[in-house]
Every structure is written in structure tokens, then in C-alpha cells.
Amino acid sequence: MERLDKFIMTFIAILSIIISVLHFLGALENTWLAERIPALTLLVIGSLAGYLILERRNKLDKIERDILEGVSRTITSLDGVEIKTFDDREKVYEYVVKRMGEAQRSIDDLSFGSETPHKTPDHELAYNKYLEIIPMICAKNNISYREVMTFPTIEQLERAEAKISQTKNQGYHLAYYDAFHQDMIPTLNFMVIDSVEVILGFYRHPYLPIEDEFHLAIRHPEVVRLFWDYYNTIWQGAKIIKDKDYIEKEELQRIRQDLESGDHPGNKRCPQ
């Protein structure tokens, strides 16, 4: 159709040029076209105007189709996406507890860096509910709970020891990294649930106030796949402390001794 349009317009243009030249030279004076030149001129102008209108309409239709197709592709690419935002730590912990209770297969929990101080009693209460539900989740035989931690303080080590004590012979797995914490790059902690959702945040302390910290819960196959694969990489390089019924008690004692003596990496400054 496009080629036919071009052929017709080319023919009209050539014919118009020929008639114009012949008329200018006076070659049409004694022919039947002599008195019809104005009508032919209007016909040519009308034909060109009609073609331009149709061409513009076709281009607008094409643009509209392209826009609709682009929107459709965008919607298709976002199919199944669910994003929740949380501006308050209490709300995000409440959501974490809810989703942990709904877990069917696995929970992968990354708890790097210094523990953030609680600003309000409600924050502390919500955090304690998160701690309390862990042994309840691990008591389910079908749930595998993996956690990777660092131990910048005795308090965090004792919290890990409490989890180990409460989850003996259950599906709680704990690993850790010896890491410097003073002058440490802020880390983004996250949790992957059933490999279908990632909840992330907790990154401002101790460099910025936690009031403006932003948290997200995302359900999207590709996004969750990235974080799940990243977690597996972290787990692969970590030192195992508890693997279901196996507990590395000597390692726990060594970490405690290092923290108490000040030799643990958590108490040291990074080399300059």
C-alpha cells in the first residue's frame, strides 16, 4: 500500500511538472487543456493535500499503536510485581513477623553490622516479637531458617547464643563473618522468604539518623532471584556456627573471648 501511494504521488508530481512546463512554453495554447489549467492545478493541490492528510493520519495511528504496544510491554514486564513501602521500623517488623509466620519453605536472614538502637518502646516491642517468632518458625519441620551475622558486640553474640539454645535439633542455621565494624561501609540487611519475596532496609546506623530510613518489601521473580543468589553467595563464604543439630561451641567461645579481650575484628578499626 505504501509503495502504491508513492507511485501515485510520483506520477502526479511528474505530470504536474510536464503540464506546467508546456503551459509556460505556450505549447498548450491550442489544445483542450488550455482552459482547464486552473482546474488541473486545483486537482493537483487537492490530491497533494489529501495525501498529506492521509499520511499524517497514518503516522498518528502508527504512533498511537507504538505507544499502546510500549505500555502493554511495560505492564507485561511488571506482571506479578508487588511492592510495599515502610517508613517506620515498627511497621516493617510487624510485616516481617507476619510474613515469617506465613513462610512455607525457607527464610534467609542477613543481619550484618551494628544493631540499631530502638527509638521508642513500640520499636523495641516489635523487634522483640521478631526475635520471639524465630524459634516458633524453626520448630516447624518444613522450614529452613538461615541467618548470617556479624558480632560487633557481646550483646549480639548473646542474642545469637539464645537463638541457638532455643532451636536445638531444629531448622535454624547460623553462620557469621569476622568483620571490622568501625569505619565499616554501611550494609543493607535483608530477608528472603520462600524465594518469592525480599524485605530490605536497615542501613543508616550509625552514620545517619534512622528516622528517615526507608524499607521495602518486593515480590518480583527477577528481583528476588538476585537477592536470593546474593544471599547464597554470602552463605557460601561464611563460617558455620550452627547447622541444624550441629553446633560449633568452640567457635562461639573464641568469639566471646575475642570480644571480651578486644581482639575481635568488631572491636578494631579498619587499617588505613
Q: Which helix (H) or strand (E) holds 4?
A: helix 2-25
Backbone angles phi, psi at 233, to 5 degrees: -65, -45
Predicted pLDDT at 271? 42
User: What gap in Å lies between CA 195 and CA 221, rounded to an integer?
Assistant: 8
Residues 100 and 34 in one domain: no
Backbone angles phi, psi at 66, to 5 degrees: -60, -40
Predicted pLDDT at 178? 86
CATH number at residue 158: 3.30.870.10
E strand map for 177-249 = 189-193, 197-201, 215-219, 239-243, 246-247
Concatenating the DSSP letter of every residue in 71-140 gives HHHHHHHTTT-EEEEESSHHHHHHHHHHHHHH-SSEEEEEE-SSPPPPSSHHHHHHHHHHHHHHHHHHTS
In a domain, 145, yes or no: yes
Among 61, 77, 93, identify where a domain stops.
Answer: 77
* Residues near 8 by beta carbon (within 8 Å), at least 6 away in sequence: 51
Residues 165 and 47 in one domain: no
Residues 142 and 263 in one domain: yes
Residues 96 and 47 in one domain: no
Beta bridge partners of 182: 269
User: What gap in Å lies between CA 124 and CA 160, rounded to an integer?
Assistant: 17
Please give the C-alpha separations between residue 191 and each of 209, 215, 227, in angstroms, as whole numbers. Answer: 22, 12, 9
Domains identified in the chain, total number: 2
Predicted pLDDT at 226? 95
In a domain, 272, yes or no: no
Residues 176 and 189 in one domain: yes
pLDDT along the chain (272 residues), means of 10: 62 67 61 61 66 64 66 56 87 95 96 75 90 91 92 91 90 88 79 96 82 90 94 96 89 92 57 40
Residue 141's nearest CA partner among 179, 176, 174, 169 is: 169
Residues 98 and 220 in one domain: yes
Predicted pLDDT at 115? 72
Q: Calculate the CA 232 to chain-centre distance.
A: 18
Predicted pLDDT at 270? 41
Per the CB < 8 A criterion, the answer to whether 119 and 222 are in contact is no
Q: Which domain holds residue 44?
A: 2-77
Residues 58 and 102 in one domain: no
In a domain, 241, yes or no: yes
3-state secondary structure 238-249: CEEEEECCEECH
Residues 177 and 105 in one domain: yes
Instruction: Report the largest interatomic distance among the alpha carbons of the chain, rounded to a whole angstrom.
Output: 118
